[in-house]
Amino acid sequence: MPSLRQLTSSLLLATGLLLAACGEDKARVTLKLTDAPGDGIEKAVVTISKVYLKGSVEGEEGKGDVVLLSEPVTTDLLTLANDTADLVTDAEVPAGTYKELRFVITGGYIQVKQDGQSRIFATSANYEGLPEGAQVDGDLQMPSASSSGLKVKFDKDADVTITSDDDQKVILVDFDVAQSFGKEAGNSGKWVMRPIIKGADMRFSGNVEVTLQLGDGLSFPMPGTTQLSGFSAVLINADGSRETMPFTLATNSVAVADFKYLLPGDYQVDLVAPTGVSFTTDIARPAATSVSSGVESDVHFTLTSIDF
């Protein structure tokens, strides 16, 4: 959720599996991708070369790997905050029980802010996903990402069972960017990707709607200078990844920020004011909230004082 959800914020990656009936013993699968943003990371580009389910196909003991994606897809995970993108559409999957979803990542780079400058760390200086003319300042290492693939841990370690008469299902996979990229120990200057990826049935994902309201008697000194839309909401997941979202005015005195595609769990919500503004609210910050299966959580702040 690094910013959070999108590499959350949190990297916040989220993936969906849409399972619909298809034939006598197969289902159709669509794979969706989303992510949690990461503080200080400006870009997080990866090339996903293969995605597969690992398990036990009915009637074929020991032959449980089903490839969903074999053509490389390159994407900037940070463009997917609060959104999803299709990686696979209508792949046929045999009925069976699948214990893992795995991503094989064969290259990538991150662009980070260091000492007031943007620096690029890539898996190689000639990685195909780099912008034309980009200067690579250091190495990005991805242990095991291109061999056995990165395992997606499903909520409560539940297996994924696919049957020919399934109703449509969605599994959301959250790739926490902030927790997945970090500097290598020491002074090598290298960065390392050790992905934190979690999944849950999309039906059981939720959202957090944050509302900010002016208290009675409060107003901004000059219309158009500093308004509620100048504030931002900050969502913090259990691992400490943060996602920041500007408020959108609903009325002159109420603003809203809606964080979508969240896995069930505990979160905190905080506020950030425009530069030079201090404020207090009616409830303590950060405020605790929980996301439950298929439910919207609401956090409401009322400004009780504003100083410019």
- In which residue are the tokens 């400058």 written? 117
Average pLDDT, the chain: 76
- In which residue are the tokens 């997917």 written? 80
Position 104 scores a pLDDT of 86
pLDDT tens-digit readout, 148-182 = 667 776 655 555 666 555 545 556 677 777 777 78
Q: Give me the residue spans of the domains in the chain.
A: 14-202, 206-307
Residue 1 has pLDDT above 60, yes or no: no
pLDDT tens-digit readout, 246-275 = 999 998 889 999 998 787 889 999 999 998
pLDDT tens-digit readout, 225-245 = 568 889 999 999 888 888 889
Residue 91 has pLDDT above 80, yes or no: no
3-class DSSP state of 220: coil
Q: What pTM does this model have? A: 0.64
Q: Which CATH code is given to the segment(s) 206-307? A: 2.60.40.10
Instruction: Judge residue 206's burial from the number of C-beta atoms within 10 Å of its C-beta, 0-12 exposed, 13-18 middle, 19 or more buried.
Output: buried
Output the CA torsion sign for 177, 178, 180, 185: positive
pLDDT band for position 52 (cuts 50, 70, 90): confident
Residue 4 has pLDDT above 50, yes or no: no
pLDDT tens-digit readout, 15-48 = 333 333 334 466 656 556 666 545 568 888 989 8
DSSP label of 177: H
Position 304 scores a pLDDT of 94
Cα 182 from Cα 192, distance rounded (Å): 6
Dihedral (Cα; 225, 117, 38, 35), 10-degree rounding: 100
* Structure tokens belonging to residue 168: 């449509």
Cα 78 from Cα 240, distance rounded (Å): 17
